[in-house]
Chain A
Amino acid sequence: MRRRAVFWSRAVLVVALVTAASAVAAFEFQPYGRGSFAELRKAHAGKPLVVHFWSVTCAPCLAELPDWARVAHTKNSFDLLFVNADHEGDRARARMRLEKAGLQGATHYAFADDFVERLYFEADSAWRGELPFTALISAEGRLVTIIGAIDDPEIAKWIGGAERK
């Protein structure tokens, strides 16, 4: 009887540890709000930076997440950040999509401010929230933004150029 109790207590402990480990392994969405774009540029100054904005409601975004995963898994000379532009209510879907694409190991931000016009404007004053949207920032701080897919010639050229450095 006592042996059985010990077995169960150990089993519970193992389950608890596994649960805790998977909780630690789950990635975080860091908050993206007013000023975040400038802060990220500052934090990554001196090194090329790619910031990719996407949404679970954007089919082209979802179609190319595996392509972005391949970029993320390559040793790059640029830093790569992802920003989910969905409302908080869609965070579970966003997490699922990223995990499915193999992007759980990347650095992820998510909109944490409903003043979205401002978030768009800070990245590009002409951006109205269309997706996918990618900001390419050179080591010298030159910013180019692209509304379009990852195989947009500008993105391909820029990423390729950065990779060759």
Chain B
Amino acid sequence: MKRLAFAAALLCAAAARAENAPAAGPMDHAKAPACLESKPQCAATAEPAFAKDGRLWLAYSVGDSIYAAASTDKGKSFAPATLVAKSSGGVIDANGEARPKIIALPDGPIVVSYTTRPEKSYSGSVFLTRSTDGGKSFSAPQKLLEDDGQRFDVFALSPRGRLYMAWLDKADAEKAKAEGKSFAGSGVAVAWSNDGGATFAGKKILMDHSCECCRVGAAFDRDGQPVFVWRHVFDDNVRDHYAAKLSADGATLAGGRVSEDQWATTCPHHGPSISIDAAGAWHIVWFARGKARQGLFYAVSRDGGKSFSAPEKFGDDAHAPSHAYILAAKDGLHRVWKEFDGETTRILQQVSRDNGASWSAPASAAETKNASDHPLLLERKGASYLSWLTKDEGYRLLPLARAAAAAPRHTRAAQIEAGAR
């Protein structure tokens, strides 16, 4: 078993490079996408960002094209999309965990990133493009790095206006492979831009051995430095979570293990989420199916990642709760997640008015009976919104109901006890 786990870890490193793939056969029965228009509803995922002027921007891909579309009525309708870029060969990462990203900078530029993978390989390349004319046009895409091997990129805009990026990088894994050494997972790499996304500095792997199939979470601490959370590969191929803050000089990541779930060997495809409140508490939600615990969990660190609270379980295990997202906003600490009962997918929400000590009863925020994206949260002028793309209903931006705050609260102690059962 251990040998297989080791072989699996080795292959984790190698999985990014496949070779000699023949073309898909004409006999494949998989259906072609029914919808190839440039509207959000034709996409499988949509990434939202509010601009300073109040417009809501979405980045998404349809086929081999990446689009950006803006809404002036909070997602009810969108202006005709702008073609941001076309993939010049290769598949665009566009799933719940890895998808085109967009950020609207306060002084105007709109920056979009996306990852493509060659047809015959999993060695991705992150591309960046920006608009300086309000989204009417985007610059020719530029590769973030010369070498391939990056995926799962994420943007984070600091309160001071510095744009950070983090991604999972295979460079160290490839180097080890070339030297005949074993290497588990990918590396966590960070870069930053002081010129509105035109150029990036840093671009270094700061910590090795992240799991390579899950999204990275990002938030800002009180001092304006970014904190990242990712699924890490610990000893014996255990894939639990780690959260770490970037040092002021951008040279190191320092933090701690969020929990000891003891989940080994399988591929979760299920990344965490982090948000930091005004008091500097790191709030984290994640999914685990480890020996120690299974399900969705929440923990908080009030000492900058040195220690984390006991994991608190949430979600209804009878409905496969998944893909939780957390947001510390002026109107409360919100968490949302997906549940599925065999027919209907629902987004459940809870709010905490005491920084995570207690939560409102779970309430359904939205539902669908067909395919859907992961739920995301974002804030605009002190109000929090759920961003969710579903195949049947299209894109929805929903203000998180304030009614949740009035619902009966669960004490944290009771929730921990329930999670332990």
A residues engaging B (CB < 8 A)? 23, 26, 28-31, 55-64, 87-93, 95-97, 99, 110-118, 120-122, 125-132, 147-151
Contacts and interface: CB of A to CB of B under 8 A. Distances in A.
Interface residues of B, number: 55
A121 B91 CA distance: 28
Main secondary structure of the interface of B (DSSP, over half): loop
B31 A88 contact: yes
Given A58-B267, A128-B270, A130-B269, 14 more contacts: A29-B29, A57-B122, A58-B269, A59-B8, A60-B4, A61-B267, A97-B18, A99-B22, A114-B371, A115-B370, A117-B320, A128-B320, A129-B270, A131-B266
A102 to B, nearest CB: 15
A58 B8 CA distance: 9
A92 B289 contact: no
Contacts, number: 156
Interface stretch (B73-81, B127-135, B302-310, B338-346): B338-346
A59, A114, A150 — most chain B CB neighbours (10 Å): A59
8 contacts: A56-B18, A59-B12, A91-B30, A92-B120, A96-B22, A99-B22, A130-B266, A149-B266
Nearest to A24: B27
A62 B31 contact: no
Contacts of B317: 126
Contacts of A56: 15, 18, 122
A147 B342 contact: no
B25 A95 contact: yes
* 5 closest residue pairs by CB, A with B: A59-B12, A60-B8, A58-B267, A96-B21, A88-B30
Contacts of A129: 269-270
Contacts of B95: 87
Contacts of A127: 320
A148 B266 contact: yes
B206 interface: no
A61 B371 CA distance: 25
